[in-house]
Each structure stands twice: as structure tokens, then as C-alpha cells.
Structure 1
Amino acid sequence: MIAACPAPFNLAAHVLAAAAQTPDKIALEILRASGAERWSYARLQAAVRGTGTGLAALGLAPGARVLLRLGNSVDFPIAFLGAIAAGLVPVPTSTALTAPEITAMARDLAPALVIAAEGVAQPDHPAPVLTLDRLRAMRDLPPCDYVMGSPDRPGYIVFTSGSGGHPRAVVHAHRAIWARRMMWDGWYHLRPNDRMLHAGAFNWTYTMGTGLMDPWAIGATALVVEPGAPLSLLMRRHDATIFAAVPGVYRQLLADGKARDLPRLRHALSAGEKLPDATRAAWHAATGVEIYEALGMSECSTYISANPARPAPMGALGYPQAGRRIKIIGGEEGILAIHRSDPGLMLGYLGPDGVPHLPLQDDWFVTGDRVARAQDGAISYLGRDDDMMNAGGFRVSPLEVEGALANHPGIDEIVVTDVEIRPNVRIIAAFYTAAAQVEETALMAFAAERLARYKQPRLYRHLPSLPRGANGKLSRRAVQAQFKADDDNA
């Protein structure tokens, strides 16, 4: 349980408070194949507050929204925190988005400013554009004063992945960073002397929160690897004590044989999509290090997790973090909901009127995540409710089927969903990547040994790669769309 967020408050001031106590300590190391670029807390704060001064000089209204179209560089967190320091509301977005996609998002957002790197798709929108050169020049300006105010006012906006068909703008309060303190023990087991290495890019919100802001808020050191640099080698060479990634990164390191002895690594973290039990076990066998998983969402960061003091039982994800107030709608198995009083819950989705609106069922925000709770309170994740498959009247979790088939020695990655083979007739189908196509009869026999008949896929398809969204998550909707397009063209 954490105390209430203090007031007045500024998210950026909280994140960089360590600059006053340990100005010379290294806050950030950007790791390269040879050497590293290092930023002390003093240097980082000076760059952020100088950027705040430059942005404030543009005359934007307090609370104005700033759309970030920046790539994988330190410019991203500096611009993000600089905008917040100056009382503006930054909106990070993926560089993978196309011009039509970001134009549609900007139409909903109505930004007052776009900060854009060369080569990144920009929206067709009348907001002025600040170039990267002008942004970087702001770092050397005198420091701005942090704009303090209510911790409940808008602090930043992120977009959902669009799993519902259209990305939605999620408005978070300044207090969201204070609420993340529940994750320090509940998931990370984070300490000021830790060196947190995140495998993601600077401009990904998972990296921004877990890899940067949370280590800085506690006074630790954040490590980010330059694209293309040898991840496992640098993890060892630069004494990473905690490693955070998505399941696909763990699978890749294991497949490449690069999960080696890591003597300084205390444990690892996984989020973003369900971590297969087989991957968790293989990582532990190769490194001797445990992976602790967390469940979260754009609307509330993470709130269910395992940690070294309370590891999850086999097959479970973890436990509600101390201070969270959740319930399962439907009993011990059902849809997870978060109480409106949770300090990490969003202010709401940005409405057409420019005001955030929080959809509630009574006093609960319904997440759409289907879970089951064991007698000891451990939570198992069953998938998104709208991903649940219907097989002959039985509801089947795609994660259960994927978990059963992921251990097949010929399969690299697999995603399971239901597809329509003719009007009003749907079957369970498995799509997988592998070095070579696996005989369908062998896959069917493998499934028959592990799954009830109604849970077994009726169709298997080998693909060169599995479709992912802009945030890197496997997309079942994209798989279904690809299947339909292929079927229509057959």
C-alpha cells in the first residue's frame, strides 16, 4: 500500500528527484557494441528542464497536447518529460504508424504541436511541427520551473493498441507515476542500486515506464541497448541486475543460444503478452534466473504480477499488487475489473469534447481480460474476452491451446484463433512459424495427447511470420483478416 500522491505535484519532477540527492550518479547508459553513452542525473535533468523552457517559450496553452513522432533515441524521453515539466501533455506514438493512421489519431487528439524526427510519418494536421534539431537545441536553455498542480490533472496520453478496431486515446493523470510505486515491490523488486536493462526501444511506452521512469524515480540506473548491439553480451558486460522484455525476446535469445551465465542478474521481467510456461522454464534452465510476469493495460499499467517474494504457481500469472482493488465479475472465473479509486487507473478515454470520459460498471472499470482465481488468490490469465473462441458451444481460451502446442519441437511461434470457413461456421485454427512445415497429422496427434477434442485445432497453417501490431504484440485480428483474404483469393 502506498500513501496518497502528494499535492501539488508534477510527474517529471517526481521522476527526476534523484538529481538533487545524487546528481553525479549515472541515470542512463545507452549500450553499444563498443562503449556506452552515459547520462548523469544532473545532465538528464538539465536537458529535460531546458527542453521545458524551450517548449514553454512557444506560447502553448497550459495542458496543450504535444504529439511525439520521435524514433528510438534519447530525444524521446527528454521531450516527453520536458513537455510534462512545462505543464503540457505529451502523446507518444509508434513510428511504425502510417500517415493515414497517425492522421486519424491526430484528428481525435487535436494536438497543439507535433515534435517530429525526419523520416517518421507525420499527420495531415494544421498543428505546427518542431524539428529534431530545434528540439535538441532546447537542452542547453536555462532550466524551467516545474509546473506544479493537482496530481489528478492530465499528465500524458497514450493510445490503446486498437484491438477493438480503433485506437483510443487514454488520458493519464500526473498521479499515474506515483501509483507505479506499487510495482516496485509487487513486480520489480526494484532498489536504488539496481541496473535495469530494458530490451525495448526508447519510444515504446513499456520501455518508458518500466525501463526508464520507474528506475529513475527510485534513483537507479536505466540501461537501453542500441539497435543491433549484442543484447546478452551487453547485459553481462554492463552488470544488469534486472532485465525486462517481451516473451518474443526471451524466445529469440534462447533460440540463438545467447541465454548464458549472467552472474549479476537477479531476475527478469515479462509483460506485453502472455509468457508461455515453456519459455519461462527454458530460460530458467539456461540461466538459473527466474522470469516474473505482470498483467497490465494501457488504461492502468500493470496491477497483477509475481515477484521474488511471492512467485506465481505454475500456470498462474501472479497476485494483485498491494494497494490494488480489483474484482472478478462472474465469480472465481470471469472478467477482471478495477475500482475507480485505483490511483493508477486512467482519467478516461479522450472524448470528442476534449474531455476524458471513464466508462464504469457501477464503480468498476471492466478490463475485458478473462482470468481465473485460485484458492490462494493467484490469478491465471485466460485471454481477452473478445478473443475467446467458441467450439461447439464451449468457450475456449486461445492461450490454453497455444500453451499446449508451443512445446512441439518443430514450432517456433504459434497463435491460435477461430476463423470462419463458411457463413456462420467457425473452427479453431493454429498458425505457426517453423524452419519447415510440419505434417498436419503429426500436429493433430500432438494436440490430441494434450487437449480435449473440442479444444483441438481443426486447421493448421504454416506462415513465414506472424502478424504483429505497432506495439509488437501478436495480433489475432490480423491473423483472421489474413486468413479471410487468402481464403477469398484461393
Structure 2
Amino acid sequence: MSSPDAAPRRFNAARHCLAENARLRAGKTALVMVGEAGRADRYGFAEVEDAVLSIAAGLVELAPEPGARVMIRMGNEADYALVYFAAIAAGLVALPSSAQLTPAEAAFIAEDSAAAIIVAGDGLPVESGGSRIVLRSVDIARMKGGRPLPAYADTAADDPATLVYTSGTTSRPKGVLHAHRAVWGRRPMHAHWLGLTESDVMLHAGTMNWTYTLGVGIADPWACGATAILYEGPRDPAIWPALIASEGATLFAAVPSLYRRILKYAALSDHDLSRLRHGVTAGEALPPDLLAEWEAATGKPLYEALGMSEISTYVSSGPTVPVRPGSPGKPQPGRRVAILSEAGEPLPRGETGLLAIHRSEPGLMLGYWNRPEEEAAVMRGEWFVGGDRASLDPDGYVWFHGRADDLMNAMGYRVSPNEVEGVVGAHPDVAEVGVAELAVGAGVRVIAAFVVLKPGASAGEDDLIAWCAERLAAYKAPRAIRFLDALPRTANGKIQRKRLAATQA
């Protein structure tokens, strides 16, 4: 199987998503930002490109060095997307981050990345530090009124474009550095997972700090000349079928847990979903019962994909790959995927091993930011191994068999137990802690901390949850605390995280 076509040697990801659209579809709606009470701001492709290139000019004036990092710490607003694409258009590196991060978490990322500029939402605390420049909404508004960059930066396909922080096997997040070619590498998804065309209207339920949203929700529609819709109001599950109906969405993207909440709390029959062709889902495994319930309630297919920050999605079901409940689908055409033994040797179909993708994959990261030891740990010769254990059936479908490491999945984000354990363990009443996922309902798993208290300590569940809420982004913080007399350990004293949940059986 050959790898996807290589990107052109000179390639700018922002130009790929915007330039032709601004020329051929100038007045077509590129982005709709929907807020409370139905308020919607709409931006045409020419308007988006003009704003992007104007902001890019302002960023270059402040940070002229190619590859300088521009950290974005904003809410779910249009300027987030504009600044993101502006940094890429300028030949700088866009660093999306979450408004949910605590000041300490945000400061770590800014320091670790050596960000030259932080674009922060009004009211979000930011430490400037040294020569770092902090921009607010008034500064971005001023840049949008300035003279645009005369042309997109003449970047190479392998030049850095984005830096995304994700949990690793240590107690601190690590930066995943992607090249401009990563956008080119997304093309197999368009036909084989999303079924995306120029006439589509994509509604994404995620927030812009997430690569799932920036990719599937914005970059993919724009690369095809389609319209992207995002929402910035209260997260009531009932809003999503209402938006599908009112905006005429043809595609809807979310995580499985949101589809479940929509089925439970939203009156689907009250809304006209006739324009919706199908839903897509990623970030978490799609339980077969949820798939069946959604299709029974809506009459619409639901297509799953498997991906990660280092590659994006590369295995999926879709219009060209029939759904097989319990499997995320097949490797997309052109992807070189294998199941490897621990020694790095390809295994035959039917055997379980490490799910791997060839290093020739254009969507594969450039590497981990200043973490050469972690880069070495994920490579097996010519193959990148992300930590998923899987097998291929005789028809080429992928079957997931868990993680080879202890990384958890929270609301579609990978979270390191080490990071959470470090925060819980710093509480003065905690002697020991182990963190793992805990099943709390059908298809519902949460991050839980299993705690041994110090003698005479009296901290309760509410105390520890409040402690974590002050120090961790909401999606990382434990939703449950369980108190134990001792943690399960190996003979060498290592915590057996996979046995923690069994202590509650």
C-alpha cells in the first residue's frame, strides 16, 4: 500500500485552506459562530482571508523570526480561528491551548515552548515574562484593521506550523510539533470518513483549542470549500439538534459521550434533521449500543475514526467503509498501517500487537518539542507506535485492545495519570495516590483518584476534588475519589493502575 501523495515542496497550510476559496468563493460563508439566543456571526471566505492576512502582518511585525511560537489562550470565539490561521500564514507556529487551563498550567506551556507571543482572551490571566508579548482582543481588532500581509509565507511542506501540547508518560505535558504538510495529509479523511464536499455544512461540537475541532471543524471544511459552524454558548445537549435544524448542517461532529447525552436529554423528534447526512465521532471508542441507539433515533449513520494528536485520524468507517460495530473501521486508503510485535516486527492478521503507522505518512508529526527521549520511545525502525494495542481482522478492520501504557481518555483528551497524581499527591492529607479510569455507567468512564490518607487525616472527596479544580484544567481533574487502605503494587513497588478500578468491584 503506497503512502498518500506527498505535499508540494513549497506548501503553506493556511494558503491551502483559504487562498482558492477567497478567489473562487469570496462571498460564500466560511465560518458561522453561533452564540446564545440564536445570535450568529457569519464570515465569508474573502473576509476570513483578509482578517487572517491582516493579523499575520501584525504578528510578523512583533515576532519576525520564522517559526516563533504564538500561543493562543482564548475562549471559543472567531478570533481564535483567525489568529490560529494567521500565525500559520505568517510562517510562525500556532500553539492552541485551552481556556480551561489553570494559570500554572498555561505558564508551563508558555515557558516550555518559549512562546514569543500569547494571544489571550479578555479576563484570562497570563504571565508575560521576559520579552514575551501578550495581546488582547483590542490588539487583534487593531491588527484586523491594518494592512494585510502581501502574500502567505513561502514555507516548505516540512516547516513547523503547529505545536499542540498533550499528555505524555511523564508528569508534564509534551509538545507535538506538526509541519504544514499535516493539512495535506488529512485529505484521505475527506472522502473516506467525513464524506466531505464543497456543498457541506459542518457543525462541530468541540472547542477550538482541540485539534479535533481545528481540523475536522474548520481546516477540513475550508480545504474543501465548505462551511464550518461552531458554537460559543451554554453547553446544553439540546442545543445540538436545534443547531443542526436551524443552520441546515449536513455533517455533525462530536465525541461519543455527547451523542449519548443528546439521546438522553434532547427531544430529537422536535427538530428537522432531514439535511443531516451523517454524524462523525472520534476521541473516544464508540460503544455498539450507542451506535444502534443513535441510528434508531435519527435514521442517520454514525461514522467513527481513530486518531491521535501525533497523526490525527487514520482509521475510520465512512461512506466508503461500512460500519462494523465495535471497530473504528479500516485504515484509510493510502495509509501504511501495521500491527507490530514488541520487537517491531509486523504481525499477521488476527494477532494482537502495537498499532503502528509508517513514518512516510504526511500527517505524522515532526517530533516532540525538545523531548528526543520520548521521540525515540515511539519509533520502531520505520514505524511510529502510539501506544494502542490492536489487531486486524481478515477484512482489514481494526479492533482495539486497550493501551500499552496508562494514558487515560477524558472527554476525548489524552490525560497522563502521572500529571493528575502529582497534583493529588501534593495535598497535605494524602500519603499515596494512584489515578485511573473508572466505569460509572454504561459506556461512561471518568478519571478517578484512589487515595491513601495520612494517619489522622480527614480530607474528604469534596476537599480533594476542590483542590484539583484549582490546579488542573477541568478535563484533567478527577470526577471521583476513592479511599483505600493501600494501593495495589507490583513486587517492585510500582502502582498497578489497571487493578485500581477492580478494588471497587
Category of TM-score, reference length = shorter chain: 0.7 to 0.9
CA apart distance, 1:383: 2.3
- Distance in 2 between residues matched to 1:282 and 1:472, nearest whole Å: 26
TM-score norm. by structure 2 comes to 0.78
Q: Tell me which residue corresponds to 1:380.
A: 399
Match of 1:204 in 2: 210
Q: Distance in 2 between matches of 1:153 and 1:356?
A: 18
Q: Which of 311, 318, 342 is 1:307 aligned to?
A: 318
Is the Cα–Cα contact under 8 Å of residues 347 and 356 in structure 1 kept in the other structure? no
Letter in 2 for 1:72: N
Secondary structure at the aligned position of 2:167 is classed as coil
Distance 1:416 1:373 in 2: 29
What aligned pairs does 1:177-256 form with structure 2 within 5 A after superposition? 177-228=183-234, 230-256=239-265
CA contact (8 A) 2:378 2:386 kept: no
- Asked whether 1:15 is paired with 2:17, we answer yes
In the TM superposition, 1:10-409 aligns within 5 A as 10-16=12-18, 17-32=20-35, 33-123=37-127, 125-126=129-130, 127-144=132-149, 145-162=151-168, 164-228=170-234, 230-260=239-269, 261-330=272-341, 331=347, 332-351=351-370, 359-387=378-406, 407=442
Matches within 5 A, 1:402-417: 407=442, 413-415=444-446
> Structure 1: which amino acid aligns with 2:227?
T
Structure 1 residues 357 and 14: CA distance shift in structure 2, 3 A: farther
SS of aligned partner of 2:95: strand
8 Å CA contact 2:355–2:390 kept in 1: the answer is: yes
Closer/same/farther in 2, CA of residues 163 and 224 from structure 1, 3 Å limit: farther
- Deviation (angstroms), 1:86: 1.0
Question: Are the equivalent residues in 1 in contact too, given 2:63–2:116 (CA < 8 A)?
Answer: no
Would the aligned equivalents of 1:350 and 1:357 in 2 still touch at CA under 8 Å? no
Amino acid paired to 1:31: V
Residue identity opposite 1:65 in structure 2: R
- In structure 2, give the amino acid aligned to 1:30: M
What is the CA-CA distance between 1:59 and the residue it aligns to? 4.3
Aligned 8 A contact 2:26 2:44 in 1: yes
* 1:244 and 1:269 in contact (8 A); partners too: yes
1:8 maps to a residue whose letter is R
Would the aligned equivalents of 1:347 and 1:357 in 2 still touch at CA under 8 Å? no
| Structure 1 position 213, deviation (Å) | 0.8
Letter in 1 for 2:444: E
CA contact (8 A) 2:29 2:43 kept: yes
Contact 2:157 2:181 survives alignment (8 Å): yes
User: Could you tell me whether the CA contact under 8 Å between 1:114 and 1:128 is conserved in 2?
Assistant: yes
TM-score, normalised to structure 1's length?
A: 0.80
Query: Please, which moves more after superposition, 267-276 or 309-318?
Result: 309-318
User: In structure 1, which of residues 5, 20, 28 is the aligned counterpart of residue 7 of structure 2?
Assistant: 5
* Residues 349, 357 of structure 1: 8 Å contact kept: no
Bigger drift between 198-207 and 158-167 goes to: 158-167
The answer to whether the 8 A contact 1:305-1:319 is kept is yes
Change (3 A) 1:175 1:288: same
Report which stretch shifted further, 88-97 or 121-130: 121-130
Whole-angstrom distance in 2 between the partners of 1:184 and 1:471: 31
1:125 shift after superposition: 3.1
The alignment yields a C-alpha RMSD, in angstroms, of: 3.2
Does the CA-based 8 Å contact 2:387-2:404 persist in structure 1? yes
Between Structure 1 and Structure 2, how many residues are aligned?
A: 427
**SS in structure 2 of the partner of residue 243 of structure 1:** strand
1:60 maps to a residue whose letter is P
Moved more, 107-116 or 39-48: 107-116
Larger CA deviation: 119-128 vs 38-47: 119-128
Cα distance per residue 1:29-80 (max 9 Å; x no partner): 1224334211100101110011011111224311111111111100101001
Matched letter for residue 153 of structure 2: V
Change (3 A) 1:194 1:164: farther
Structure 2 residue identity aligned to 1:130? L
Q: Decide whether aligned partners of structure 1 residues 295 and 484 sit closer, same or farther in structure 2, where only a CA change above 3 A counts.
A: farther
The residue aligned with 2:500 is none
Deviation at 1:152, TM superposition (A): 0.4
In 1, Cα distance between equivalents of 2:449 and 2:120: 40
Q: Who is 1:393 aligned against?
A: none
Aligned equivalents of 1:486 and 1:129: distance in 2?
47
Q: Which amino acid aligns with 1:74?
A: A
Conserved 8 A contact 1:348-1:359: no
- In the aligned structure 1, how far is the partner of 2:485 from the partner of 2:78? 41
Matches within 5 A, 1:457-476: 470=473, 472=475
**Which shifted more, 114-123 or 283-292?**
114-123
Q: Percent identity?
A: 41
- Contact 1:64-1:111 at 8 Å conserved across structures: yes
Cα distance in 1 for partners of 2:273, 2:210 equals 26
Q: Which SS does the other structure have where 1:106 is aligned?
A: helix
State the shift of 1:359 in Å: 4.6
CA shift in 2, pair 1:301/1:364, >3 Å:
same
- How many angstroms does 1:320 deviate by? 0.3
User: 1:21: how far off?
Assistant: 0.9
Distance 1:52 1:356 in 2: 31
Separation of aligned partners in 2, 1:125 and 1:294? 40
Q: Secondary structure of the residue that 2:315 maps to in structure 1?
A: strand
Structure with higher RCO (Cα < 8 A, 6+ apart): 2
Residues 448 and 482 of structure 2 are in contact (CA less than 8 Å); yes or no, is this contact kept in structure 1? no
CA drift of 1:96 comes to: 1.0
Structure 1's 274 and 248: CA in aligned 2 closer, same or farther, altered over 3 A?
same
Shift of 1:161: 3.4
Larger mean CA deviation between 263-272 and 54-63 belongs to 54-63
For the residue of structure 1 that corresponds to 2:110, the secondary structure is helix
